[in-house]
A and B are shown apart, each in its own frame.
Chain A
Protein backbone atom coordinates (compact mmCIF):
# COMPACT_ATOMS: atom_id res chain seq x y z
CA UNK A 1 0.00 0.00 0.00
CA UNK A 2 1.27 3.51 -0.64
CA UNK A 3 1.05 6.27 2.01
CA UNK A 4 -1.84 8.11 0.34
CA UNK A 5 -4.01 4.97 0.11
CA UNK A 6 -3.06 4.16 3.70
CA UNK A 7 -4.26 7.50 5.02
CA UNK A 8 -7.47 7.33 2.91
CA UNK A 9 -8.22 3.68 3.64
CA UNK A 10 -11.32 2.87 5.64
CA UNK A 11 -9.73 -0.35 6.92
CA UNK A 12 -6.99 1.48 8.80
CA UNK A 13 -7.94 2.84 12.20
CA UNK A 14 -7.68 6.54 12.95
CA UNK A 15 -5.21 5.65 15.71
CA UNK A 16 -2.84 3.95 13.26
CA UNK A 17 -3.09 6.84 10.80
CA UNK A 18 -2.31 9.42 13.48
CA UNK A 19 0.55 7.26 14.74
CA UNK A 20 2.03 7.11 11.26
CA UNK A 21 1.88 10.93 11.09
CA UNK A 22 3.63 11.18 14.46
CA UNK A 23 6.33 8.82 13.25
CA UNK A 24 6.90 11.27 10.41
CA UNK A 25 7.40 14.07 12.96
CA UNK A 26 9.83 11.82 14.89
CA UNK A 27 11.66 11.19 11.64
CA UNK A 28 11.89 14.90 10.92
CA UNK A 29 13.52 15.52 14.32
CA UNK A 30 16.08 12.77 13.57
CA UNK A 31 16.67 14.22 10.08
CA UNK A 32 17.21 17.67 11.61
CA UNK A 33 19.76 16.19 14.03
CA UNK A 34 21.59 14.55 11.13
CA UNK A 35 21.49 17.71 9.00
CA UNK A 36 22.82 19.92 11.82
CA UNK A 37 25.63 17.46 12.55
CA UNK A 38 26.59 17.28 8.89
CA UNK A 39 27.07 21.06 8.86
CA UNK A 40 28.69 21.27 12.27
CA UNK A 41 32.42 21.98 12.08
CA UNK A 42 32.59 21.35 15.84
CA UNK A 43 31.60 17.69 15.43
CA UNK A 44 34.64 15.43 15.21
CA UNK A 45 32.68 12.81 13.24
CA UNK A 46 30.40 14.83 11.00
CA UNK A 47 29.85 12.23 8.29
CA UNK A 48 29.32 9.26 10.58
CA UNK A 49 26.90 11.19 12.78
CA UNK A 50 25.01 12.45 9.75
CA UNK A 51 24.73 8.99 8.16
CA UNK A 52 23.39 7.56 11.40
CA UNK A 53 20.76 10.22 12.18
CA UNK A 54 19.71 10.85 8.58
CA UNK A 55 19.17 7.13 7.93
CA UNK A 56 17.26 6.80 11.19
CA UNK A 57 14.97 9.67 10.19
CA UNK A 58 14.60 8.29 6.67
CA UNK A 59 13.68 4.81 7.93
CA UNK A 60 11.21 6.30 10.39
CA UNK A 61 9.29 8.01 7.60
CA UNK A 62 9.83 5.72 4.62
CA UNK A 63 10.39 2.35 6.35
CA UNK A 64 6.82 1.06 5.96
CA UNK A 65 6.54 1.96 2.27
CA UNK A 66 9.65 0.29 0.84
CA UNK A 67 10.35 -3.48 0.56
CA UNK A 68 11.20 -4.77 4.03
CA UNK A 69 14.48 -6.38 2.89
CA UNK A 70 15.67 -2.88 1.92
CA UNK A 71 14.58 -1.51 5.29
CA UNK A 72 16.52 -4.33 6.95
CA UNK A 73 19.63 -3.64 4.88
CA UNK A 74 19.44 0.08 5.70
CA UNK A 75 19.15 -0.73 9.42
CA UNK A 76 22.48 -2.52 9.11
CA UNK A 77 24.04 0.39 7.20
CA UNK A 78 22.70 2.79 9.85
CA UNK A 79 24.42 1.04 12.76
CA UNK A 80 27.81 0.74 11.03
CA UNK A 81 28.98 4.28 11.96
CA UNK A 82 27.80 3.62 15.52
CA UNK A 83 29.82 0.39 15.73
CA UNK A 84 32.87 2.15 14.27
CA UNK A 85 32.48 4.88 16.93
CA UNK A 86 31.92 7.46 14.22
CA UNK A 87 28.81 9.00 15.79
CA UNK A 88 29.66 11.97 18.02
CA UNK A 89 27.80 14.83 19.67
CA UNK A 90 27.94 18.17 17.91
CA UNK A 91 28.81 21.55 19.34
CA UNK A 92 25.28 22.39 20.57
CA UNK A 93 25.85 24.05 23.94
CA UNK A 94 24.15 23.10 27.21
CA UNK A 95 22.25 26.01 28.77
CA UNK A 96 24.41 27.69 31.39
CA UNK A 97 23.47 27.90 35.04
CA UNK A 98 22.75 31.65 34.78
CA UNK A 99 20.21 31.19 31.99
CA UNK A 100 18.41 28.37 33.82
CA UNK A 101 18.28 30.29 37.11
CA UNK A 102 17.10 33.43 35.28
CA UNK A 103 14.30 31.51 33.57
CA UNK A 104 13.37 29.86 36.84
CA UNK A 105 13.01 33.31 38.45
CA UNK A 106 10.52 34.40 35.78
CA UNK A 107 8.64 31.11 35.26
CA UNK A 108 8.97 29.43 38.65
CA UNK A 109 6.79 26.48 39.64
CA UNK A 110 4.59 26.91 36.56
CA UNK A 111 7.29 24.96 34.69
CA UNK A 112 5.74 21.77 36.10
CA UNK A 113 2.64 22.27 33.93
CA UNK A 114 4.39 21.60 30.60
CA UNK A 115 6.70 19.06 32.28
CA UNK A 116 3.74 16.92 33.34
CA UNK A 117 1.86 17.45 30.05
CA UNK A 118 3.33 14.45 28.25
CA UNK A 119 2.44 11.95 30.95
CA UNK A 120 -1.03 13.41 31.42
CA UNK A 121 -1.85 13.29 27.70
CA UNK A 122 -0.47 9.76 27.33
CA UNK A 123 -2.68 8.59 30.18
CA UNK A 124 -5.73 10.56 28.99
CA UNK A 125 -5.49 9.11 25.49
CA UNK A 126 -5.11 5.59 26.89
CA UNK A 127 -8.06 5.93 29.24
CA UNK A 128 -10.56 8.05 27.33
CA UNK A 129 -9.95 7.53 23.61
CA UNK A 130 -9.54 4.54 21.30
CA UNK A 131 -6.40 6.28 20.01
CA UNK A 132 -2.93 4.97 20.91
CA UNK A 133 -1.33 6.51 24.00
CA UNK A 134 1.73 7.10 21.83
CA UNK A 135 -0.27 9.65 19.86
CA UNK A 136 -1.11 11.11 23.28
CA UNK A 137 2.60 11.51 23.95
CA UNK A 138 2.92 13.42 20.69
CA UNK A 139 -0.02 15.69 21.52
CA UNK A 140 1.45 16.20 25.00
CA UNK A 141 4.74 17.30 23.47
CA UNK A 142 2.88 19.78 21.26
CA UNK A 143 0.89 21.14 24.20
CA UNK A 144 4.04 21.45 26.34
CA UNK A 145 5.80 23.33 23.56
CA UNK A 146 2.90 25.80 23.21
CA UNK A 147 2.83 26.40 26.97
CA UNK A 148 6.59 26.99 27.06
CA UNK A 149 6.23 29.42 24.18
CA UNK A 150 3.48 31.25 26.08
CA UNK A 151 5.76 31.50 29.13
CA UNK A 152 8.65 32.99 27.20
CA UNK A 153 9.02 34.54 23.75
CA UNK A 154 12.55 33.15 23.71
CA UNK A 155 11.23 29.60 23.23
CA UNK A 156 11.06 29.66 19.44
CA UNK A 157 10.75 26.54 17.27
CA UNK A 158 14.48 26.76 16.55
CA UNK A 159 15.24 26.62 20.28
CA UNK A 160 13.12 23.47 20.65
CA UNK A 161 14.73 21.80 17.64
CA UNK A 162 18.27 22.69 18.68
CA UNK A 163 17.63 21.50 22.22
CA UNK A 164 16.18 18.25 20.83
CA UNK A 165 19.29 17.81 18.72
CA UNK A 166 21.48 18.46 21.77
CA UNK A 167 19.60 15.82 23.80
CA UNK A 168 19.70 13.26 20.96
CA UNK A 169 23.42 13.89 20.52
CA UNK A 170 23.84 13.26 24.24
CA UNK A 171 21.96 9.94 24.31
CA UNK A 172 23.54 8.83 21.03
CA UNK A 173 23.17 5.50 19.23
CA UNK A 174 22.81 3.48 22.44
CA UNK A 175 19.23 4.74 22.62
CA UNK A 176 18.55 2.31 19.77
CA UNK A 177 19.27 -0.65 22.05
CA UNK A 178 15.60 -1.58 22.67
CA UNK A 179 14.60 -1.58 19.00
CA UNK A 180 17.74 -3.51 17.97
CA UNK A 181 17.12 -6.07 20.72
CA UNK A 182 13.56 -6.43 19.46
CA UNK A 183 15.03 -7.10 16.01
CA UNK A 184 17.30 -9.76 17.49
CA UNK A 185 14.28 -11.31 19.20
CA UNK A 186 12.47 -11.43 15.86
CA UNK A 187 15.47 -13.17 14.25
CA UNK A 188 15.54 -15.68 17.14
CA UNK A 189 11.85 -16.41 16.58
CA UNK A 190 12.29 -16.74 12.81
CA UNK A 191 15.24 -19.11 13.30
CA UNK A 192 13.33 -21.30 15.77
CA UNK A 193 15.57 -20.59 18.76
CA UNK A 194 12.61 -20.80 21.13
CA UNK A 195 11.84 -24.42 20.16
CA UNK A 196 15.44 -25.47 20.80
CA UNK A 197 15.47 -23.92 24.26
CA UNK A 198 12.12 -25.34 25.22
CA UNK A 199 13.36 -28.76 24.11
CA UNK A 200 16.35 -28.29 26.41
CA UNK A 201 14.59 -26.78 29.36
CA UNK A 202 11.69 -29.24 29.29
CA UNK A 203 14.07 -31.91 30.53
CA UNK A 204 14.67 -29.73 33.60
CA UNK A 205 11.30 -28.05 34.15
CA UNK A 206 8.34 -30.39 34.54
CA UNK A 207 6.07 -29.57 31.64
CA UNK A 208 2.73 -28.02 32.43
CA UNK A 209 3.77 -26.70 35.84
CA UNK A 210 2.97 -23.00 35.75
CA UNK A 211 4.43 -22.18 39.17
CA UNK A 212 7.80 -23.72 38.35
CA UNK A 213 7.75 -21.98 34.97
CA UNK A 214 7.11 -18.58 36.58
CA UNK A 215 9.84 -19.06 39.18
CA UNK A 216 12.40 -20.08 36.56
CA UNK A 217 11.41 -17.17 34.28
CA UNK A 218 11.54 -14.57 37.10
CA UNK A 219 14.77 -15.79 38.70
CA UNK A 220 16.27 -16.31 35.23
CA UNK A 221 15.47 -12.68 34.38
CA UNK A 222 17.24 -11.45 37.51
CA UNK A 223 20.29 -13.69 37.02
CA UNK A 224 20.65 -13.01 33.28
CA UNK A 225 20.36 -9.28 33.98
CA UNK A 226 23.08 -9.53 36.62
CA UNK A 227 25.39 -11.27 34.16
CA UNK A 228 24.63 -8.96 31.23
CA UNK A 229 24.08 -5.78 33.23
CA UNK A 230 21.05 -4.99 31.10
CA UNK A 231 17.46 -6.07 31.71
CA UNK A 232 16.43 -5.16 28.16
CA UNK A 233 18.88 -7.70 26.71
CA UNK A 234 17.77 -10.30 29.24
CA UNK A 235 14.06 -10.01 28.51
CA UNK A 236 14.54 -10.65 24.79
CA UNK A 237 16.44 -13.86 25.43
CA UNK A 238 14.43 -15.10 28.42
CA UNK A 239 11.00 -14.47 26.93
CA UNK A 240 11.73 -16.38 23.74
CA UNK A 241 13.42 -19.21 25.66
CA UNK A 242 11.50 -19.61 28.90
CA UNK A 243 8.63 -17.13 29.13
CA UNK A 244 6.84 -18.20 25.97
CA UNK A 245 7.11 -22.01 26.17
CA UNK A 246 6.85 -22.52 29.93
CA UNK A 247 4.61 -19.72 31.13
CA UNK A 248 2.63 -18.12 28.32
CA UNK A 249 1.95 -21.40 26.51
CA UNK A 250 0.16 -22.61 29.65
CA UNK A 251 -2.35 -19.80 29.31
CA UNK A 252 -0.84 -17.28 31.75
CA UNK A 253 -1.80 -13.65 31.20
CA UNK A 254 0.89 -12.17 28.91
CA UNK A 255 0.27 -8.67 30.31
CA UNK A 256 1.13 -9.64 33.89
CA UNK A 257 3.90 -12.07 33.05
CA UNK A 258 5.63 -9.90 30.43
CA UNK A 259 5.47 -6.66 32.36
CA UNK A 260 6.51 -8.09 35.73
CA UNK A 261 9.28 -10.20 34.19
CA UNK A 262 10.99 -6.97 33.18
CA UNK A 263 10.84 -5.58 36.71
CA UNK A 264 12.22 -8.91 37.99
CA UNK A 265 15.13 -8.12 35.70
CA UNK A 266 15.41 -4.70 37.37
CA UNK A 267 15.95 -6.55 40.68
CA UNK A 268 19.00 -8.08 39.01
CA UNK A 269 20.10 -4.59 37.91
CA UNK A 270 20.06 -3.49 41.55
CA UNK A 271 22.53 -6.26 42.48
CA UNK A 272 25.20 -6.12 39.80
CA UNK A 273 28.34 -4.03 39.25
CA UNK A 274 27.73 -4.75 35.54
CA UNK A 275 25.02 -2.06 35.65
CA UNK A 276 27.74 0.53 36.04
CA UNK A 277 25.60 3.58 35.30
CA UNK A 278 23.34 2.89 38.24
CA UNK A 279 25.62 1.21 40.75
CA UNK A 280 29.20 2.25 40.09
CA UNK A 281 28.96 5.78 38.65
CA UNK A 282 27.08 7.07 41.75
CA UNK A 283 29.94 5.74 43.93
CA UNK A 284 32.30 7.96 41.99
CA UNK A 285 29.97 10.97 41.85
CA UNK A 286 29.37 10.87 45.61
CA UNK A 287 33.03 10.10 46.47
CA UNK A 288 32.14 6.92 48.33
CA UNK A 289 34.87 4.81 49.90
CA UNK A 290 33.21 1.42 49.41
CA UNK A 291 32.96 0.56 45.70
CA UNK A 292 29.99 -1.67 46.46
CA UNK A 293 28.38 0.81 48.84
CA UNK A 294 25.34 1.35 46.62
CA UNK A 295 24.81 -2.32 45.75
CA UNK A 296 24.96 -3.35 49.42
CA UNK A 297 22.07 -1.02 50.21
CA UNK A 298 20.03 -2.48 47.33
CA UNK A 299 20.48 -6.26 47.60
CA UNK A 300 17.98 -6.82 50.44
CA UNK A 301 15.37 -4.75 48.59
CA UNK A 302 16.00 -6.62 45.34
CA UNK A 303 15.53 -9.99 47.07
CA UNK A 304 12.29 -8.93 48.75
CA UNK A 305 10.92 -7.47 45.51
CA UNK A 306 11.84 -10.57 43.51
CA UNK A 307 9.88 -12.70 45.97
CA UNK A 308 6.95 -10.25 45.97
CA UNK A 309 6.83 -10.24 42.17
CA UNK A 310 6.98 -14.02 41.87
CA UNK A 311 4.01 -14.33 44.23
CA UNK A 312 2.22 -11.53 42.35
CA UNK A 313 2.71 -13.32 39.02
CA UNK A 314 1.51 -16.64 40.41
CA UNK A 315 -1.60 -15.06 41.92
CA UNK A 316 -2.48 -12.73 39.01
CA UNK A 317 -1.53 -14.84 36.02
Chain B
Protein backbone atom coordinates (compact mmCIF):
# COMPACT_ATOMS: atom_id res chain seq x y z
CA UNK B 1 0.00 0.00 0.00
CA UNK B 2 2.68 2.46 1.09
CA UNK B 3 4.85 1.37 -1.82
CA UNK B 4 1.96 1.97 -4.19
CA UNK B 5 1.56 5.48 -2.82
CA UNK B 6 5.26 6.19 -3.23
CA UNK B 7 5.02 5.09 -6.86
CA UNK B 8 2.05 7.42 -7.39
CA UNK B 9 3.90 10.33 -5.84
CA UNK B 10 6.97 9.53 -7.91
CA UNK B 11 4.91 9.52 -11.09
CA UNK B 12 3.26 12.81 -10.22
CA UNK B 13 6.61 14.34 -9.33
CA UNK B 14 8.10 13.34 -12.67
CA UNK B 15 5.11 14.82 -14.52
CA UNK B 16 5.41 18.04 -12.56
CA UNK B 17 9.13 18.30 -13.16
CA UNK B 18 8.53 17.73 -16.90
CA UNK B 19 5.94 20.51 -16.99
CA UNK B 20 8.15 22.90 -15.05
CA UNK B 21 11.06 22.15 -17.37
CA UNK B 22 8.87 22.79 -20.43
CA UNK B 23 7.64 26.07 -18.95
CA UNK B 24 11.18 27.05 -18.04
CA UNK B 25 12.47 26.56 -21.58
CA UNK B 26 9.46 28.40 -22.96
CA UNK B 27 10.01 31.26 -20.55
CA UNK B 28 13.71 31.54 -21.42
CA UNK B 29 12.97 31.65 -25.13
CA UNK B 30 10.13 34.13 -24.71
CA UNK B 31 12.09 36.47 -22.49
CA UNK B 32 15.50 36.37 -24.04
CA UNK B 33 14.89 35.05 -27.54
CA UNK B 34 17.68 34.03 -29.84
CA UNK B 35 19.15 37.48 -30.40
CA UNK B 36 22.64 38.63 -29.38
CA UNK B 37 23.67 36.82 -26.17
CA UNK B 38 20.26 35.19 -25.67
CA UNK B 39 19.67 33.60 -22.32
CA UNK B 40 23.01 34.79 -20.94
CA UNK B 41 21.03 37.95 -20.11
CA UNK B 42 19.50 35.88 -17.33
CA UNK B 43 22.56 36.60 -15.19
CA UNK B 44 24.35 39.29 -17.17
CA UNK B 45 21.54 41.70 -16.35
CA UNK B 46 21.73 41.27 -12.55
CA UNK B 47 25.53 41.37 -12.86
CA UNK B 48 25.34 44.74 -14.58
CA UNK B 49 22.98 45.98 -11.86
CA UNK B 50 25.25 44.84 -9.06
CA UNK B 51 28.37 46.15 -10.73
CA UNK B 52 26.71 49.51 -11.36
CA UNK B 53 25.68 49.83 -7.72
CA UNK B 54 29.12 48.72 -6.56
CA UNK B 55 30.84 51.35 -8.71
CA UNK B 56 28.40 54.05 -7.61
CA UNK B 57 28.82 53.30 -3.93
CA UNK B 58 32.60 53.12 -4.31
CA UNK B 59 32.71 56.51 -6.02
CA UNK B 60 30.38 58.03 -3.45
CA UNK B 61 32.45 56.43 -0.66
CA UNK B 62 29.19 55.41 0.90
CA UNK B 63 29.02 55.42 4.66
CA UNK B 64 27.99 52.01 5.85
CA UNK B 65 29.33 52.07 9.33
CA UNK B 66 31.96 49.37 9.20
CA UNK B 67 35.51 48.84 8.11
CA UNK B 68 34.49 46.50 5.31
CA UNK B 69 35.63 47.25 1.78
CA UNK B 70 32.76 48.87 -0.04
CA UNK B 71 32.91 46.31 -2.87
CA UNK B 72 32.25 43.42 -0.54
CA UNK B 73 29.50 45.35 1.15
CA UNK B 74 27.76 46.26 -2.12
CA UNK B 75 28.06 42.78 -3.60
CA UNK B 76 26.52 40.97 -0.64
CA UNK B 77 23.87 43.65 -0.11
CA UNK B 78 22.68 44.29 -3.62
CA UNK B 79 22.74 40.63 -4.69
CA UNK B 80 20.46 39.84 -1.76
CA UNK B 81 18.05 42.56 -2.83
CA UNK B 82 17.92 41.13 -6.34
CA UNK B 83 17.10 37.76 -4.86
CA UNK B 84 14.06 38.70 -2.76
CA UNK B 85 12.82 41.55 -4.95
CA UNK B 86 12.90 40.07 -8.47
CA UNK B 87 10.99 36.90 -7.65
CA UNK B 88 7.80 38.69 -6.52
CA UNK B 89 8.09 41.13 -9.43
CA UNK B 90 8.12 38.22 -11.88
CA UNK B 91 5.27 36.33 -10.21
CA UNK B 92 2.86 39.25 -9.94
CA UNK B 93 0.87 39.07 -13.17
CA UNK B 94 2.39 35.71 -14.14
CA UNK B 95 -0.94 33.92 -14.39
CA UNK B 96 -2.74 36.09 -16.90
CA UNK B 97 -0.44 35.64 -19.92
CA UNK B 98 -0.28 31.89 -19.22
CA UNK B 99 -4.01 31.32 -18.69
CA UNK B 100 -4.43 29.51 -21.99
CA UNK B 101 -1.89 26.91 -20.88
CA UNK B 102 -4.32 25.74 -18.21
CA UNK B 103 -6.10 23.81 -20.99
CA UNK B 104 -3.27 21.31 -20.61
CA UNK B 105 -4.45 19.62 -17.49
CA UNK B 106 -0.96 18.88 -16.16
CA UNK B 107 -0.03 22.55 -16.27
CA UNK B 108 -1.09 24.20 -13.03
CA UNK B 109 -0.75 27.68 -11.61
CA UNK B 110 1.97 26.55 -9.23
CA UNK B 111 4.06 25.24 -12.14
CA UNK B 112 3.95 28.64 -13.82
CA UNK B 113 5.17 30.20 -10.58
CA UNK B 114 7.84 27.59 -9.91
CA UNK B 115 9.27 27.90 -13.43
CA UNK B 116 9.63 31.64 -13.03
CA UNK B 117 11.03 31.32 -9.51
CA UNK B 118 13.67 28.83 -10.63
CA UNK B 119 14.68 31.14 -13.44
CA UNK B 120 14.83 34.23 -11.25
CA UNK B 121 16.63 32.57 -8.33
CA UNK B 122 19.00 30.90 -10.78
CA UNK B 123 19.84 34.19 -12.44
CA UNK B 124 20.50 35.98 -9.15
CA UNK B 125 22.58 33.08 -7.82
CA UNK B 126 24.75 32.74 -10.91
CA UNK B 127 25.27 36.48 -10.93
CA UNK B 128 26.30 36.45 -7.25
CA UNK B 129 28.73 33.56 -7.74
CA UNK B 130 30.28 34.84 -10.96
CA UNK B 131 30.77 38.34 -9.56
CA UNK B 132 32.21 36.96 -6.33
CA UNK B 133 34.71 34.83 -8.22
CA UNK B 134 35.59 37.72 -10.51
CA UNK B 135 36.12 40.20 -7.67
CA UNK B 136 38.16 37.64 -5.75
CA UNK B 137 40.23 36.98 -8.87
CA UNK B 138 41.05 40.65 -9.46
CA UNK B 139 41.74 41.13 -5.76
CA UNK B 140 38.86 43.42 -4.79
CA UNK B 141 37.47 40.84 -2.44
CA UNK B 142 38.72 38.21 -0.04
CA UNK B 143 37.20 34.71 -0.41
CA UNK B 144 34.31 34.08 2.00
CA UNK B 145 35.34 32.89 5.45
CA UNK B 146 32.62 30.27 5.73
CA UNK B 147 30.98 29.27 2.47
CA UNK B 148 28.33 27.11 4.11
CA UNK B 149 26.99 29.99 6.18
CA UNK B 150 26.82 32.11 3.02
CA UNK B 151 24.87 29.33 1.36
CA UNK B 152 22.56 29.07 4.37
CA UNK B 153 21.76 32.79 4.32
CA UNK B 154 21.35 32.76 0.57
CA UNK B 155 19.00 29.77 0.58
CA UNK B 156 16.89 31.30 3.34
CA UNK B 157 16.63 34.57 1.43
CA UNK B 158 15.66 32.64 -1.69
CA UNK B 159 13.03 30.71 0.26
CA UNK B 160 11.66 33.94 1.70
CA UNK B 161 11.58 35.53 -1.77
CA UNK B 162 9.92 32.51 -3.35
CA UNK B 163 7.20 32.26 -0.70
CA UNK B 164 6.56 36.00 -0.86
CA UNK B 165 6.46 35.80 -4.66
CA UNK B 166 3.91 32.99 -4.77
CA UNK B 167 1.75 34.66 -2.17
CA UNK B 168 1.76 38.02 -3.94
CA UNK B 169 1.41 36.38 -7.37
CA UNK B 170 -1.71 34.53 -6.25
CA UNK B 171 -3.26 37.46 -4.40
CA UNK B 172 -2.51 39.79 -7.32
CA UNK B 173 -4.91 37.69 -9.36
CA UNK B 174 -7.71 38.85 -7.07
CA UNK B 175 -6.75 42.46 -6.59
CA UNK B 176 -4.67 44.70 -8.80
CA UNK B 177 -3.80 46.71 -5.69
CA UNK B 178 -1.00 44.21 -5.10
CA UNK B 179 0.70 45.18 -8.33
CA UNK B 180 0.21 48.89 -7.65
CA UNK B 181 1.56 48.73 -4.10
CA UNK B 182 4.40 46.27 -4.66
CA UNK B 183 6.53 48.72 -6.65
CA UNK B 184 6.60 51.52 -4.06
CA UNK B 185 6.86 48.97 -1.26
CA UNK B 186 9.83 47.13 -2.77
CA UNK B 187 11.51 50.45 -3.58
CA UNK B 188 11.21 51.67 -0.02
CA UNK B 189 12.24 48.32 1.41
CA UNK B 190 15.47 48.33 -0.59
CA UNK B 191 17.39 50.66 1.80
CA UNK B 192 15.60 49.16 4.82
CA UNK B 193 16.33 45.56 3.90
CA UNK B 194 19.89 45.46 5.15
CA UNK B 195 21.44 45.98 1.74
CA UNK B 196 22.70 49.44 2.64
CA UNK B 197 23.67 49.04 6.30
CA UNK B 198 24.98 46.64 8.90
CA UNK B 199 22.76 46.13 11.91
CA UNK B 200 25.81 46.55 14.14
CA UNK B 201 26.25 50.12 12.88
CA UNK B 202 22.77 51.14 13.98
CA UNK B 203 22.14 52.67 17.40
CA UNK B 204 21.42 49.94 19.90
CA UNK B 205 17.83 51.07 20.27
CA UNK B 206 17.20 50.74 16.52
CA UNK B 207 18.82 47.33 16.11
CA UNK B 208 15.87 45.55 17.64
CA UNK B 209 13.49 47.10 15.13
CA UNK B 210 15.77 46.48 12.15
CA UNK B 211 15.78 42.78 12.96
CA UNK B 212 11.99 42.68 12.67
CA UNK B 213 12.52 43.01 8.91
CA UNK B 214 12.97 39.39 7.79
CA UNK B 215 15.33 40.20 4.91
CA UNK B 216 17.76 41.95 7.28
CA UNK B 217 18.33 38.65 9.08
CA UNK B 218 19.08 36.88 5.80
CA UNK B 219 21.57 39.50 4.62
CA UNK B 220 23.30 39.42 8.00
CA UNK B 221 23.73 35.65 7.76
CA UNK B 222 25.23 36.00 4.28
CA UNK B 223 27.66 38.64 5.57
CA UNK B 224 28.44 36.58 8.65
CA UNK B 225 29.56 33.80 6.34
CA UNK B 226 31.44 36.14 4.06
CA UNK B 227 33.35 38.17 6.62
CA UNK B 228 33.41 36.04 9.75
CA UNK B 229 35.10 37.80 12.65
CA UNK B 230 35.68 41.02 10.75
CA UNK B 231 32.15 42.08 11.57
CA UNK B 232 29.60 41.49 14.26
CA UNK B 233 26.52 40.04 12.65
CA UNK B 234 23.13 40.25 14.31
CA UNK B 235 20.37 37.93 13.31
CA UNK B 236 17.65 35.66 14.60
CA UNK B 237 17.61 32.46 12.58
CA UNK B 238 14.39 31.09 14.05
CA UNK B 239 12.59 34.37 13.40
CA UNK B 240 13.52 34.24 9.70
CA UNK B 241 12.60 30.55 9.52
CA UNK B 242 9.22 31.27 11.07
CA UNK B 243 8.58 33.96 8.47
CA UNK B 244 9.54 31.61 5.63
CA UNK B 245 7.29 28.83 6.85
CA UNK B 246 4.30 31.03 7.59
CA UNK B 247 4.60 32.74 4.21
CA UNK B 248 4.92 29.38 2.47
CA UNK B 249 1.72 28.06 4.03
CA UNK B 250 -0.14 31.25 3.15
CA UNK B 251 1.25 31.18 -0.38
CA UNK B 252 0.27 27.57 -1.05
CA UNK B 253 -3.22 28.21 0.34
CA UNK B 254 -3.68 31.20 -1.94
CA UNK B 255 -2.36 29.28 -4.95
CA UNK B 256 -4.97 26.59 -4.35
CA UNK B 257 -7.73 29.19 -4.15
CA UNK B 258 -6.58 30.82 -7.36
CA UNK B 259 -6.30 27.52 -9.25
CA UNK B 260 -9.90 26.84 -8.36
CA UNK B 261 -11.14 30.20 -9.58
CA UNK B 262 -9.25 30.96 -12.76
CA UNK B 263 -11.19 31.17 -16.00
CA UNK B 264 -9.21 30.61 -19.18
CA UNK B 265 -10.41 32.80 -22.05
A binds B: no
Residue numbers of A with Cβ under 8 A of B are: none
